Amino acid sequence: MLIVGLGNIGAKYEGTYHNVGFSVADKLAERFMLTFKDAPTLSAMMAEGNVDGKKVRILKPTTFMNLSGVAVKSALTKFEPATEDVLIIYDDIDLPLGATRLREKGSAGTHNGMRSVTSLCGELPRLRVGIGRPHEEEDLASYVLKKAGKEAKEILAGAAERVADAVERYLKTSDFSAFSREINTPKA
C-alpha cells in the first residue's frame, strides 16, 4: 500500500492546517513503528515496512504542496501499486474541523496539492481531513498556513488517531467499503 500525506516540508510549516496530511502520515508511521528516511529519487521522505503481512510505504513529498503530484507520480512509477492500494491524505476547508471523508475518486476542489496529483496521476483514492473555513476577513492562503491553536490541534490529533485506526483495519481486511463507512464522519 502506498499512503501519501500532503503538506509542506520545513519547520515553518509544522503544525499548520495545510500540513494535516503530514501529521496523519506521521501518526501512521508511529503506529506501524516505521521511520521516515530521505528518498530523493522520489522527491519525498518515505517510511516503509511490513504491516500485517502487507508492504506499506508512507510518503511525505518534499516538493512543497503545489507540486505534490511530482512525488506521487515518481512513487507510482517506481512501485506500481494497484489503484486501490493508494491513499492520498490531505486537508480540506470544505469539511468541519476534524471531520474525515474517504472517496475512491473525485474532484480536487480548491486544493492545489491534490490538483497537482490528479493532473499528473489521474484520480486516486483520497482521504480528506477537515480543517474548517477561515473567518470572512481572513484569506485562504493565510488560514491554511496558520498554525492550529490548542483546541484545533487536539481535534486534528483525534482525527489522525481515527484515521490510523481505520487504516490499520483496512490493511487487515482490504475492504474499501468498510473502510469508507468507518472513516466517513458527519462531523469531528
Write down the domain spans for the chain.
Answer: 2-183
Instruction: Tell me: pLDDT of 188 over 60.
Output: no
Q: What angle do CA 63, 102, 37 make, to 5 degrees?
A: 35
In this predicted model, which residue has the larger pLDDT, 110 or 98? 98
Instruction: Tell me: pLDDT of 94 over 80.
Output: yes
Q: Is 18 a catalytic residue?
A: yes
CATH entry 3.40.50.1470 includes domain 2-183:
yes
Mean pLDDT of the chain: 91
Q: Which amino acid is at 45?
A: M
pLDDT value at residue 53:
87
Which span out of 66-75, 112-121, 131-140 was modeled with the highest average pLDDT?
66-75
Spell out the residues 6+ positions from residue 134 whose beta carbon is closer than 8 angstroms to its own. 93, 140, 142, 143
Instruction: Tell me: pLDDT of 118 over 70.
Output: yes
Q: Which grid coordinates are listed for 92?
A: 480540506
Indicate the range of 26-35, 83-92, 137-146, 148-157 predicted with least confidence.
Answer: 137-146
Q: Which amino acid is at 157?
A: A
User: Which residue in the list 5, 17, 18, 65 is annotated as catalytic?
Assistant: 18
Instruction: Tell me: pLDDT of 99 over 90.
Output: yes
Spell out the residues 6+ positions from residue 158 whose beta carbon is closer than 8 angstroms to its own. 98, 188
Instruction: Tell me: pLDDT of 187 over 70.
Output: no
Instruction: Tell me: pLDDT of 58 over 80.
Output: yes
pTM of the model: 0.92
β 126-130/44-51 pair status: unpaired
Instruction: Tell me: pLDDT of 109 over 80.
Output: no
pLDDT value at residue 186:
61
